[in-house]
Amino acid sequence: MKRILLKLSGEALAGEKHTGFDEPTVTRVAEQVKQLAANGVEVGIVIGGGNFWRGRTSETIDRTRADQIGMLATVMNCIYVSEIFRSVGMKTQILTPFACGAFTKLFSKDRANKYFSKGMVCFFAGGTGHPYFSTDTATVLRAVEIEAEGIFLAKAIDGVYDSDPKINPSAVKYDEISIQEVIDQKLAVIDLTASIMCMENKMPMYVFGLNEENSIVKAVSGDFSGTK
């Protein structure tokens, strides 16, 4: 594939701690993306914010304000991961839908294309820039805008199951499933808004486990054992 969008959940960055950052985990991601970039794949990255904050979990403060904190959490995540990527020798840029001074660049498709053409990895931080959305929706939005060939969803679980394998030991993993079936069966792969956008734009999605050895490189190179 020539250009992909990789989505990492905030928790995935935190490892066992479930909050903040786990440097060995992020370094393993960096080494894999470096390999992809060396093979000429243009990689855009969206990172969630759940290792710091989720807007909808706050019951006391205004939801719009709570979501702004969530969006800023994704900016912190991207700054951290971008620096780890640079420490292993990659060139990176962080793009946000709102101005963050000198911390990031303002997102536009032209700007993303310019950075990709320079061999840089682009981090799309700050979600959609709007409350009541999620980084799932930002992932699909950016993937469609930059005309990515597919979304690679790196999760704590190694694919899409018909029920939660932690609760049901006989849960069955799908090799392939349509977004319509994901919606109908309420399989909670990505949220509803993101699912609809993905379906409308016929954006392929590959769900796989982040914790398996070399799983990002394998998934993008077609050695795929998750759910398409």
Residues making contact with ligand UDP (CB under 6 A): 10, 48-50, 54-56, 66-67, 70-71, 73-74, 127-128, 130-131, 133-138
| 90/112 with CB nearer ligand UDP | 112
Identify whether the C-beta of residue 87 lies closer than 8 Å to the C-beta of residue 70.
Answer: no
Query: Minimum distance from CB of 31 to ligand UDP (Å)?
Result: 24
Tell the smallest beta-carbon distance from residue 209 to ligand UDP (Å): 18
Q: Give the three-class secondary structure for 94.
A: strand
Can you read off the two tokens belonging to residue 118? Answer: 């320079």
Q: Using the minimum distance from each CB to ligand UDP, give the nearer residue, 37 or 47.
A: 47
Q: CB of residue 62 vs ligand UDP: minimum separation in angstroms?
A: 12
Q: How far apart are CA 152 and CA 155, in angstroms?
A: 9
Beta strands in the chain (DSSP E): 3-8, 42-47, 92-96, 105-106, 121-124, 150-155, 205-209
Q: Whose Cβ is closer to ligand UDP: residue 77's or residue 215's?
A: 77
**Shortest Cβ distance from residue 107 to ligand UDP (Å)?**
12
How far apart are alpha carbons 87 and 28 in whole angstroms? Answer: 12
User: Which of 38, 188 has the CB closer to ligand UDP?
Assistant: 188
